[in-house]
Structure 1
Amino acid sequence: MHKSSSAFSIRRVTRWVTSVAIAMAVTVGVADPEAGAQNALPQLPALPALPGFDPAQALPPAPAVPNSSDVLGNVPVPQLPAVPGITDNPAFPDPLGSIDNGQAAPQGDVMLTNVPARTSMAVIMPGRVIQTPNANEARPGLSIVKLYLADYALRKGDGSDRDTYLAKRMIRFSDDNAAKIIDRKYPQAINSVAREFGLGNTWRGSHWGLSYTSAMDTARYLNKVRLSRPNSLILNWMRQASPVAADGTQQNWGTSTLRGVTGTKWGWSDYGEPTVASASISPTYTAAAFTFGGPGTQNVDVRSANAYIH
């Protein structure tokens, strides 16, 4: 009985030792880095490249960051185009010669350096031009360009009574609807008059309300009409301008306040910051002014011209 128990104990110890050895062998095998690498999962195959796809060009390059001057709004403004092929019509006398072409002005000219840059102004009389340094600056034409629309409709239109009526509405009452009708009928009108009269800073925009002109161009145009066609309907309608425009605006500011004025055409903007214009005639001179500001501001700025008007 005792011998049998001893044999049983030896067998139990032997099995236990064998189990421990196997467990150690398994543990060593898993811990072995090379064995782990051999037993790792197989590498997944790479995805095939898409036809015509270059990963390097997948995203467009980021836009350049503008410099500080651009951020502050100092980006250069493109030069507005001038009307090509502008020449004076020989049929109209031009006492100013080539003043708009940068040549020397006639003797007796006056430069109004005391007028703020917000206003550009020009006064033309025999032998004298009174102007601000920015008189040739192209500015929004406002309703002043209705002068050019009416001129074209009266002289180069179809001669209809309707055109005459609409032209009268444009000048006396500054009627925008009349201007819209004439501009659609004769979209070439403003540029045609600019070429004919040598108005180098005048052109039509996408419609009459987005057109440009200058104080010098406007005064120059009226001066030529005054000399060559003193009985023009346009001049007569300026003398008969309504105190109240078609939209209810009081027409009573700017060059109309100058000494000796007998007729005026006004212009103003209905959108954004106040912007006004006026163009006047007298027996001896013509005048025009454009102001980034309201009627009262223009009244103050044009006043200094009175000292040189005779």
Structure 2
Amino acid sequence: MDVTVLEVAPRDGLQNESEIIATAAKIRLIERSIEAGLRRIEAVSFVHPQRVPQMADAEAVMAGVPRVAGVSYAGLVFNDRGLDRAMAAGVDEINVVVVATDTFSHRNQGCTTAEGIQRWHTLAKRAADSGLRRTVTIAAAFGCPFEGEVSAATVLDLVRRVAEAEPDEIALADTIGVGTPDRVRTLIAGTAALAPAAALRCHFHNTRNTGYANAIAALDAGARVLDASTGGIGGCPFAPAATGNIATEDLLYMLDRMGVTTGVRMDLVSETGVWLGDVLGTPVPALLGRAGGFPSAG
């Protein structure tokens, strides 16, 4: 089985930090990720700098990243202005988020879920005309911090509606880390049935120690792209306690021991996690940098 690990530390990882990280450090994080073998990287977010100050230097980051054959840079986009910026900055793919509940959607994007779907349709058409790869992410697909449970029927109805714009990829996001493997299997199976032409991707947080179990459940159900953040940093600034992306290095260790091919060197990612902790001034949550890989005999 071949699996793509999509690195999100430069965007989803850093957006939740209280201190502004230097542009040069962000670029170096991306360079180190590429050196380790990661080939899809969510590098930036094109949002208003007052909303997410950590992403205010998106253009400067994209101007400084290496352009390497086979490496695809993604940018998070919320509206037409964001898409204009993304295209001018030279991203290879866009990620548009549709939030599963109105309350969280208002807090995160300033619109209802229905308005978010319409925005996605508009952005998807423009991006397709420009030749960009298009991912739509359904956020809070496993639960909302404000409205509570989100039914599988609600999520799958959203899948049906966003699939009308023919996305290249549909991602299901456990934004606050409340998902469990049984729900993952249900939503992946339902998404595959409703949108058979779209690649399936999952974004998990390990807030309650279910992220890695959910990742394996997603692969068993047919997903082949998993988001992860070096060091396990990150979260959503608009959701209480939405911390702890699954760590790229810890995910790689598990996949490697299972014989799953990713093409990524977990030792280099682990070293980057330790380096990232120095940049942030605090140890990262990932465990591989502390425990090391599987111990050699003797």
In the superposition, the TM-score normalised over structure 2's length comes to 0.30
Q: Which has the larger radius of gyration?
A: 1
Higher share of residues assigned strand: 2
